[in-house]
Amino acid sequence: MELKYYSPDWLSLEEYEQFVAQYHGAATSHHLLRTKWYMDHFDFHILLAIVDGKVVGQSCAYKTTAIIHNVPVDFWWSVDSFVLKQYRGLGIGKKLQAQLHKDWPNFSSIWYSRINGGIKRKLGAQPILASRLTYYPINSFFSILFGALFKRKKLSLPVIIKNKYRRLHASSHNRFTEKNITAAQLLSLASDIKESLSTAADFYIDRSNEYLSAKYNSNPSLSGFDIILLYDQHLEKNVGLYILTKPFSRQTFSIELNVCAILDYFIFDDSVKYKDIIGSALLRASSYDNVDGVLSFGKPVGLLNITYPKDGLQLLSTTPIGGSHVIANPYISFIDQDMEQMLP
Average pLDDT, the chain: 88
Q: What is the 3-state secondary structure (H, E, C) of the chain?
A: CEEEECCCCCCCHHHHHHHHHHHHHHHHHHHHHHHHHHHHHCCEEEEEEEECCEEEEEEEEEEEEEEECCEEEEEEEEEEEEECHHHCCCCHHHHHHHHHHHHCCCEEECCCCHHHHHHHHHCCCEEEEEEEEEEEECCCCHHHHHHHHHHCCCCCCCCCCCCHHHHHHCCCHHHEEEEEECHHHHHCCHHHHHHHHHHHCCEEECCCHHHHHHHHHCCCCCCCEEEEEEEECCCCEEEEEEEEECCEEEEECCEEEEEEEEEEEEECCCCCCHHHHHHHHHHHHCCCCCCCEEEEECCCCCCCCEEEEEEEEEEEECCCCCHHHCCCCECCCCCCCCHHHHCC
For the whole model, what pTM was predicted?
A: 0.90
Confidence (pLDDT) at 323: 56
Confidence (pLDDT) at 343: 80
Between 203 and 117, residue with greater pLDDT? 203
Find the range with the poorest average confidence among 181-190, 280-289, 324-333.
Answer: 324-333
Residue 157 has pLDDT above 50, yes or no: no
Residue 272 has pLDDT above 80, yes or no: yes
Find the range with the poorest average confidence among 3-17, 65-79, 90-104, 278-292.
Answer: 278-292
% of residues, the chain, pLDDT over 70: 89
